[in-house]
């Protein structure tokens, strides 16, 4: 839609599973209220916002397991997690940064990343060098473009929202 609106349909688009939303394991598909009633508000907050606390993991045989989703058939099932925290989400997203985004930026190209909240938080952690503790408080508003102006070494020179 952005490319069409800006009359730039010729600009290449790269889609990758590495930018998908994080996998909440056995919490996947549950609403926050029901999950909080079952596990408690504090535990749900920890699962949702902490860097390295995993949610209850899905088994490959569980209904809804990504390991059996045809969209991920090209991946080795061992690479498909049963659930993710932000650390695992970053480990998944980082190769896309290293293989696609960083080389394009180093080639002086402008890059637009459209992704889900937690994959964006993971990339922001990497780009900004945010600590494991501080990442819990990072909020990236939905639908509000975040701009990074980067130095030649890809460190942040300026960050702002449009």
Binding site: which residues?
Answer: 21-24, 32, 48-49, 117-118
3-state secondary structure of 55: coil
Binding-site annotation: residue ranges for substrate: 21-24, 32, 48-49, 117-118
Query: In which residue are the tokens 């809804």 written?
Result: 64
Look at residues 147, 109, 131, 141 and name the one whose alpha carbon lies nearest to residue 12.
109
Q: What tokens does 105 get?
A: 């930026």
Q: Give me the sign of the Cα torsion angle 118, 119, 120, 121.
A: positive
Q: What tokens does 157 get?
A: 């020179």
Q: Which residues does residue 148 pair with via DSSP β-bridges, in sequence order? A: 159
């Amino acid at each position: 839609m952005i490319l069409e609106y800006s009359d730039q349909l010729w600009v290449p688009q790269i889609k990758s599973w590495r930018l998908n939303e994080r996998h909440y394991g056995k919490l996947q598909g549950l609403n926050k209220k029901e999950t909080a009633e079952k596990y408690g508000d504090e535990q749900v907050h920890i699962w949702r916002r902490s860097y390295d606390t995993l949610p209850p993991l899905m088994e490959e045989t569980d209904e809804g397991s990504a390991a059996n989703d045809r969209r991920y058939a090209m991946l080795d099932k061992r690479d498909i997690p049963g659930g993710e925290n932000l650390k695992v989400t970053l480990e998944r997203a980082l190769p896309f940064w290293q293989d696609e985004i960083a080389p394009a930026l180093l080639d002086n190209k402008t890059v637009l990343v459209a992704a889900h909240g937690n994959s964006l938080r993971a990339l922001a952690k990497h780009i900004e060098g945010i600590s494991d503790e501080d990442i819990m408080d990072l909020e990236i508003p939905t639908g509000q473009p975040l701009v990074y102006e980067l130095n030649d070494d890809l460190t942040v020179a300026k960050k702002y929202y449009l």
